[in-house]
Structure 1
């Protein structure tokens, strides 16, 4: 009797497992089944209709019958002549082994799912298209209005829709800390049991943070938060003021570089930030901690009281919050290029425009070294610049893009190359990077790292590259993720890791307080060697 009870226990399927199986079947059929991919079914309503049947199923036979009947109702699938492909795929994200799970599905259903995979949709998909650069575009999703806190069935549907977009089209799914299948199992109860709008939206933030992607975010309303005029870094295991969005407003609020934040409105700042870590997206630990700091300081109220440590003493500072536009941050005057002396030139990529490139590089042609500052967000002019850095064309990155003909598999494009010239700069090139080097800046750094005589100085970059895909989470919430996979030509991943660094230099609290730029100081030292 004990043996029989054990077998029965093994075969029982939890409610969460049943819901997870529905989410996976819903997405698989949406992107694989030729009839569903035409868009002729109201696919969301079909999923909602299956929900009570799935929950009512008591074992795998009953559950498999629900799915078999559903698939049967969708029409016959013709044999696919194009599907027996021998293409070379990037397959680190690909895993349909769940379709063969003997605990959840009968052999007959698993064979049906395999047949659909082998005879999958090869025509235009109603639900997904590709942009010119290869990244995915989510198309023709129903418009759900007034769904800030929908009923349970639609909360689950929103989770299923999002989970499957990531499952089939997110290039870095294999790099996430948590297995994506496990994310679905974990988030179903959290989404299902969210008792109000606030709990529901926090659950969505937690879900999106699990992409471990600095490009990922979600916006629940047009009401913008207010910001303090300071920039924070995680230095020496502390939250340190490392810059300002507006010098005048920072001075007005009596803030100084190197201030260490200890409390916010009387609460321990480090503990509050740690609580918020699971709600912020970031590609690496440093990136996440920094974003958790910002998340903890932002808000709708006009003022916060900070307890800071400055030069060994504690003090309280009431600090005003502002609309980010008040900072006029992008209009702040900054140098485009300059000479430190007759031997060393400097280029600030934040301010360099395409029309400036030729004149700036030609003005430096007799220098012994050029320092190129990428601790910012540059214009898309890497190729123009590499004409003055490379004596021959060189591969600097490989890009893989999602396959619509075989979702969750990706295909490499031809490696991207730099420009070149026989007039390329003969001296040292020193590239500066740090935590603010993200996305296009990292892509540009990878190109510059192929220069004839180059060294990269600084600290870990944001680790998010490959364009951005914007789409909607059910309810009209805007969200995003990285859209293409980007690796070095040798296969080294820049996602999460950041770009390669030759000489690591981390700013110090003492250095900030003294007004020093320690990364730039190191670059100047190298330039003069």
Structure 2
């Protein structure tokens, strides 16, 4: 084994040069610069090829995120993924696969070993006891700052417990140390700081490499597997097979989206640079129908129209199809996302909408798609963002106001009999400070728990916990307060509502929220894809999980088609009755 290590170190010296060059960023040759490479057309994976790539994916994640040596910490890991895919797919046996894995990964981690599982394990490469370093991931750090960090920290080298091993698909096993010796100060490196979008090609190799990278991010750092209950290991092979046969970049986005959908994460999104436009209409799923709530002038649509088919396809089937590509912790969030996705289409395209008009007549109309910003400006009718709905009853739409707007409201509290806070949307301009006016005692948010990983595969994860501590501010809300919400309320909206729920500050009217809270994390992949996910676990004040549960209303109210056609908002009407005292809160 010493001979193998020396040989590997010699090959490493060829790559990095002399000692003065060893600290320079190490770049594995890109797929496009590997001899014999180039854009590769879609073709299926063989069973052996799928096993080989699944084994590489596992080994890649172990070395990228948990081997702390200098070369591995400063390499371009996107390039490693691209090269590894080309190198290992065609391996013909476990012995061949083990040799190829070492060929790709040992130049970066000289103590990495791979061998056929049915054979005799090689003697582990020696790690001398003494000062060392290891990776500490609080979430997955992207860049050099933020709530999620990945840094190398001091550790004692040579402990047997820090020699990690695993059996992989394809009949191979691997081993590597999680702590390596240091001879001086630990340099600041991050496992993602050089892994930019190192290829703009969307060929077969890039697609397979993206699955390798994305699958590993969640395998090691996703915080909610215990809640969603998915077998993440079983998701790797179908994603690899889909990537191998995807016909183009857009088809591959669907492959990645199905992978992320398995996380059941409302923040889970795959973004791609492809341009699109949207129908200038606001619609929602009400009483199992797609109901128009607003439309741009000239579309020919009216409030209360029901759309049953788009371009000749039934809406119910389209929604079900869309939801296979949507990651969501609750059905209501997936239905909100899918109903909005039906508006999208290519730039300059039109859609034929059929169904029933609000007066009962048949609907058959063609609508032109417009730029996204223009389409999103079409919103259902609501009161003004700050409005007096009845004498002494103040309405505040937190989707359209910010902290500065409320500074003019607080001095009026002595004259206000009731307040309605509309959280049917996203309160982007708000901080939690407004909640300090609701109690004369210190109140708290749910707890945000970020996983701290020192070992692969979520072994022995600990948690870094934080929460809002909201101390009272004068003046205090003395009148009846009511909050409105529904299934589109996610993340920050749920953080605010979680305080309301936990401290029992006010009734909550409407429908259950999206069930996804906590700071999102984002990673760019080769080919200009961006993946977003929830990086922390949120636990309510009573110790129960938030993910997949959300905030349930204390007064459940659903909108109706008849109400929409009559110009009514039953949820707001109920909130107003409670604020006025004509309906009793629960």
Band of TM-score, shorter chain? 0.7 to 0.9
| Corresponding residue SS for 2:62 | helix
C-alpha spacing 1:426/1:416, structure 2 compared with 1 (3 Å): same
**Correspondence for 1:304 among 336, 351, 359:** 351
Distance in 2 (CA, whole Å) between partners of 1:207 and 1:441 is 26
Q: 1:482-522 CA distances to partner (integer Å, 9 max, x unpaired)?
A: 23332322233333332232221111111111111111111
Query: 2:520 corresponds to which residue?
Result: 468
Query: 1:146 corresponds to which residue?
Result: 200
Distance in 1 (CA, whole Å) between partners of 2:378 and 2:307 is 26
Q: Is 1:20 the equivalent of 2:54?
A: yes
CA offset at residue 347 of structure 1?
Answer: 1.8
Query: 1:132 corresponds to which residue?
Result: none
425-434 vs 507-516, which moves further: 425-434
Distance in 1 (CA, whole Å) between partners of 2:472 and 2:128 is 51
Query: 2:110 corresponds to which residue?
Result: 75
| Corresponding residue SS for 1:359 | coil
CA offset at residue 474 of structure 1?
Answer: 1.4
| Corresponding residue SS for 2:567 | coil
Q: Is 1:39 the equivalent of 2:73?
A: yes
Aligned residues: 489
Query: 2:117 corresponds to which residue?
Result: none
Query: 1:372 corresponds to which residue?
Result: 421
C-alpha spacing 1:41/1:422, structure 2 compared with 1 (3 Å): closer
| Corresponding residue SS for 2:437 | coil
C-alpha spacing 1:125/1:32, structure 2 compared with 1 (3 Å): farther
Query: 2:157 corresponds to which residue?
Result: none
Query: 1:397 corresponds to which residue?
Result: 446
| Corresponding residue SS for 2:342 | helix
Query: 2:261 touches 2:327 (CA, 8 Å); kept in 1?
Result: yes
Distance in 2 (CA, whole Å) between partners of 1:65 and 1:231 is 57
TM-score by length of 1: 0.80
Larger RCO, structures 1/2 (Cα 8 Å, 6+ apart): 1
What are the within-5 Å matches in structure 2 for residues 54-73 of structure 1? Answer: 54-55=88-89, 57=91, 60=94, 63-64=97-98, 66-67=100-101, 73=107
Structure number with higher strand proportion = 2
CA offset at residue 359 of structure 1?
Answer: 3.0
CA offset at residue 68 of structure 1?
Answer: 5.8
Distance in 1 (CA, whole Å) between partners of 2:518 and 2:455 is 20
C-alpha spacing 1:195/1:442, structure 2 compared with 1 (3 Å): same
Distance in 1 (CA, whole Å) between partners of 2:365 and 2:454 is 58
Query: 2:254 corresponds to which residue?
Result: 202
C-alpha spacing 1:82/1:445, structure 2 compared with 1 (3 Å): farther
CA offset at residue 278 of structure 1?
Answer: 1.8
Query: 2:395 corresponds to which residue?
Result: 346
C-alpha spacing 1:389/1:198, structure 2 compared with 1 (3 Å): closer
Q: Structure 1 unaligned segments of length 5 or more: list them.
A: 1-12, 90-95, 129-137
TM-score by length of 2: 0.73
CA offset at residue 411 of structure 1?
Answer: 2.0
Q: Is 1:236 the equivalent of 2:287?
A: yes
C-alpha spacing 1:268/1:477, structure 2 compared with 1 (3 Å): same
Q: Structure 2 unaligned segments of length 5 or more: list them.
A: 1-46, 112-126, 140-161
C-alpha spacing 1:230/1:281, structure 2 compared with 1 (3 Å): farther
Q: 1:274-301 CA distances to partner (integer Å, 9 max, x unpaired)?
A: 2232223333222223322332331124
Query: 1:389 touches 1:452 (CA, 8 Å); kept in 2?
Result: no
What are the within-5 Å matches in structure 2 for residues 200-279 of structure 1? Answer: 200-221=252-273, 223=275, 225-241=276-292, 243-244=293-294, 249=296, 251-279=297-325
Distance in 1 (CA, whole Å) between partners of 2:80 and 2:350 is 49
Q: Is 1:413 the equivalent of 2:465?
A: yes
C-alpha spacing 1:330/1:363, structure 2 compared with 1 (3 Å): farther
